[in-house]
Amino acid sequence: MNINPEDPKWTAYVLGELNDAERAQVEKELESSATAREVVEEIRLATDLLRHELTQEQAVGLAAEQRHAITSAAAPRRVRPMFRWAGVAASVAAGLLIVATLSVQSLFRSRQAAPVARTVTASLPDAHRAETDGRENAHVNPSVVSRDKEEDERNRSQLASNIQEGLQVQQGQQLQQAQQAGSPAGSGGQLSALPAYSFAEKQAYRRLAVASGPPPAAARTAVADRVDQRQLNAEAYDLISDNPFIRVTQDPLATFSIDVDTASYANIRRFLSMNQLPPKDAVRIEEMINYFSYDYPSPTARHPIATYTEVAAAPWKPEHRLVRIGIKGKDIDMAKRPPSNLVFLVDVSGSMATPEKLPMLKSAMKLMVEKLGEGDHVAIVTYAGSSGVHLRSTSGDKKEVINSAIDALNSDGSTNGGAGILLAYETAMSNFIRGGTNRVILATDGDFNVGVTNQGDLIRIIEEKAKSGVFLSVLGFGMGNYKDSTLEKLADKGNGNYAYIDTMNEARKVLVEEMSSTLLTIAKDVKIQVEFNPAEVNAYRLIGYENRALRHEDFNDDKKDAGDMGAGHTVTALFEVVPRGVEVEISAVDQLKYQQRTLDIRRVASGELLNVRIRYKDPDGNTSQLIETPVIDRGTAFNNASTEFRFAAAVASFGMILRDSPHKGQSTMDAVIEIAEKSRSGDKNGYRDEFVQLVRKARALKGNQ
């Protein structure tokens, strides 16, 4: 066969550019000709080398503000609240607008008691100028080609930015004043130096100001009150009804998913620190109990989790027994943990601007980045009116790169959680580390007000994405606009955990101290099913876990999702059990007419109180494993129970008081404090001490019961 090395087909073959027939022809020639093989091999070497050299050439992307200009142009226009408002403003007379702007100033002045007259066009303090430029350049950049409707759009945004500047002049002045006054809060233009007016609050002020002009002094307080009221009402909690007592003869089974969230406790702490009692529905007792880590031994058997049970008298009702079921996930040495592929999905919407939200998140992220190593990867996806990759997946040892990306996070716009979530999962999947930790960490105040806001749709997206093997952590921030119910559901459906970050300490606890348990899942879909022995138990009640109930048949259904456990995590569930012979008031259900229970006499007579079954799956497995633990009641008095048992009982008791639970029995704040104070041993980080402080605070607000 005559081989012509000059024929372009050889190169085309190597580059995969031939059609089937041509390729078959070339392959036939390759089989029969050593020359042909040599030609192809040489081309292959040359192309490999070229590809290597050319892809080595550094690829710089666009500048951040250029990307921003593009993502803004791609974003749905009408939905950014600043613009929407500006649209309204644009339609009123210009004269009115000036009045409006002035009135915003006078309002702020009055609150700050520091009258400094400036016009909206006054030059900005440098720190703010830089920030504003970064944001607004996108809309005035001369290289942005304007087209038809865009002109109008730009005018509006210019208008909005003028107003925004006016506001920022005020903020800048506050900052300067704070610095002049030697306030320790003046930290180099950080938002934390500013009073905690939320974005929503400012907006409300502006709107009110537009509507009414400068209000008289007396009316201002009323305005402020109304705004505060509005803010509180904007928090959303799902209704929780305490689990009732159930007779064993009616239903001997209790089935539920574990809950490793801790958000409710931190949220309660936030309310109490503001001298307010939390709304009842913000109190989820299981999240309070599980906020604390309990000293259960690390599992040694073949399972990655182990069960520990204990029974003693219920402190709030001594004739009832309290059963503690503790689960402990195996500890994993942080030094030996598998590499992490983390995608922070950061809400940068306007509502995140206040100091306790984005600025705190940024500090918390830096703490966490500090702990990452070479094998780990971090990406940051932001979402507001539009979503975008803020930092592409970057190795954990490039700390300066990551930290400067964190520094560059600014709040802006409204919130389209849906698109951001999709993008974050895509980023996580394209950097998937097999055998490693793959996790999206969503940080938000949960106020998804743009795009896919329908909770059902969001949950469906998350549920779908959870199947990809990417886990989800949800970090809730802030107050006033806080959507607890949405966030808990997202974490629940997304194979995840949920924490509320109210203080820097909490951020450190969740992201640094408990990093391994937060990030490294060792068992997923952990379900608990407890069967009570009718010979020993009259009735029972699961304390908390109201929104974690599963149908009994779901226990063995491996397709049914449940909670996940991280390395070293502990999960604790408490049952209040009414022993046989002790009466309990339960609205009577009539005796069943046709059914007759057949009992296994031998087993019933075993003396066992109950039997705990736990199902879990390995993090990458699809089939569940079963662990069974029978529990015998040895009649232990409450005071002889373990420290961990007593502390958990104190937390549960406190939760019931806060919820005004019909089952709180003799619970009192005093009793809670007494028990907790005696069960603080081993409290390394002072969380149990803090608990005692919180109960004292609650007692001051609510009284003893």
Partner 1 sequence: MEDATKSTWIVAALDQYEGHLVRYATWILGDVERAREVVQETFLRLCKEQPARIGNHLAQWLFTVCRNLAFDVRKKENRMSPLKDPETLPVTDDRPGASLENEETMSQVLRLMETLPKNQREVLRLKFQSDLSYKEISAITKLSVTNVGFLIHTAIKTLRKELLAESAKRRIQ
**Positions that interact with partner 1 (CB under 8 A):** 5-12, 15, 17, 42-43, 45-63, 66-67, 69-71, 73-76, 79, 143-145, 147, 386-389, 392, 416, 418-419, 422-423, 426, 451-452
Cα-Cα-Cα-Cα torsion 409, 136, 89, 226, nearest 10 degrees, comes to: 20
Considering the complex, what minimum distance in angstroms separates the CB of residue 25 from partner 1?
15
Largest Cα–Cα distance of the chain, in whole Å? 101
Structure tokens belonging to residue 287: 């999240």
DSSP strands (E only) in 467-591: 471-477, 496-501, 521-532, 537-543, 563-566, 570-579
The residue among 60 and 181 lying less far from partner 1, judged by its C-beta, is 60
Report the distance separating Cα 545 and Cα 623, nearest Å. 24
The residue among 27 and 41 lying less far from partner 1, judged by its C-beta, is 41
Considering the complex, what minimum distance in angstroms separates the CB of residue 18 from partner 1?
10
Considering the complex, what minimum distance in angstroms separates the CB of residue 158 from partner 1?
18
Q: Which of 117, 127, 216 is nearest to 170 (CA)?
A: 117
The residue among 272 and 391 lying less far from partner 1, judged by its C-beta, is 391
Considering the complex, what minimum distance in angstroms separates the CB of residue 325 from partner 1?
43
Considering the complex, what minimum distance in angstroms separates the CB of residue 599 from partner 1?
55
Considering the complex, what minimum distance in angstroms separates the CB of residue 460 from partner 1?
12
In 348-483, alpha helices (H): 358-370, 399-407, 417-430, 455-466
Report the distance separating Cα 288 and Cα 291, nearest Å. 5
The residue among 57 and 585 lying less far from partner 1, judged by its C-beta, is 57
The residue among 427 and 438 lying less far from partner 1, judged by its C-beta, is 427
Contact between 488 and 450 (Cβ < 8 Å):
no
Considering the complex, what minimum distance in angstroms separates the CB of residue 339 from partner 1?
22
Q: Give the strand pairing for 471-477 and 496-501.
A: parallel
The residue among 58 and 622 lying less far from partner 1, judged by its C-beta, is 58
The residue among 194 and 422 lying less far from partner 1, judged by its C-beta, is 422
Report the distance separating Cα 209 and Cα 89, nearest Å. 12
Contact between 101 and 163 (Cβ < 8 Å):
yes
**Three-class SS of residue 279?**
coil
Considering the complex, what minimum distance in angstroms separates the CB of residue 324 from partner 1?
46
The residue among 50 and 589 lying less far from partner 1, judged by its C-beta, is 50
Q: Give the strand pairing for 521-532 and 253-257.
A: antiparallel
Q: How far is CA 626 from CA 324, 326, 618, in A?
A: 19, 16, 12
Considering the complex, what minimum distance in angstroms separates the CB of residue 73 from partner 1?
4
DSSP code at position 511: I
Considering the complex, what minimum distance in angstroms separates the CB of residue 37 from partner 1?
15
Considering the complex, what minimum distance in angstroms separates the CB of residue 53 from partner 1?
4
Report the distance separating Cα 474 and Cα 477, nearest Å. 10
Structure tokens belonging to residue 504: 């820097």
Neighbours of 383 (CB within 10 A): 30
The residue among 486 and 521 lying less far from partner 1, judged by its C-beta, is 486
**Three-class SS of residue 531?**
strand
Helices vs. strands in the chain: H and E counts, helices first: 23, 16
Residues 6 or more apart whose CB falls under 8 angstroms from that of 336 comprise none
Beta bridge partners of 236: 483
Considering the complex, what minimum distance in angstroms separates the CB of residue 453 from partner 1?
10
Contact between 204 and 230 (Cβ < 8 Å):
yes
Q: Which residues of 7-21 are buried (b: 16+ CB within 10 A; e: fewer)?
A: eeebebbbeeebeee
Contact between 196 and 270 (Cβ < 8 Å):
no
Considering the complex, what minimum distance in angstroms separates the CB of residue 686 from partner 1?
43
The residue among 82 and 204 lying less far from partner 1, judged by its C-beta, is 82
Secondary structure element (H or E) that encloses residue 11, with its range: helix 9-14
Q: How far is CA 600 from CA 533, 597, 606, in A?
A: 10, 10, 10
The residue among 396 and 413 lying less far from partner 1, judged by its C-beta, is 413
Distance of CA 276 to the CA centre of its chain: 24
Considering the complex, what minimum distance in angstroms separates the CB of residue 59 from partner 1?
3
Q: Give the strand pairing for 246-247 and 253-257.
A: unpaired
The residue among 42 and 660 lying less far from partner 1, judged by its C-beta, is 42
Beta bridge partners of 403: none
Considering the complex, what minimum distance in angstroms separates the CB of residue 66 from partner 1?
4
The residue among 59 and 637 lying less far from partner 1, judged by its C-beta, is 59
Considering the complex, what minimum distance in angstroms separates the CB of residue 45 from partner 1?
5
- Write the DSSP assignment of 226-275 as a string of letters: HHHHHHHHT-B-----PPPPEETTT--EEEEE-----HHHHHHHHHHHTT
Q: How far is CA 679 from CA 76, 294, 536, 609, in A?
A: 55, 11, 29, 26
DSSP code at position 318: E
The residue among 59 and 181 lying less far from partner 1, judged by its C-beta, is 59
The residue among 43 and 223 lying less far from partner 1, judged by its C-beta, is 43
The residue among 63 and 211 lying less far from partner 1, judged by its C-beta, is 63
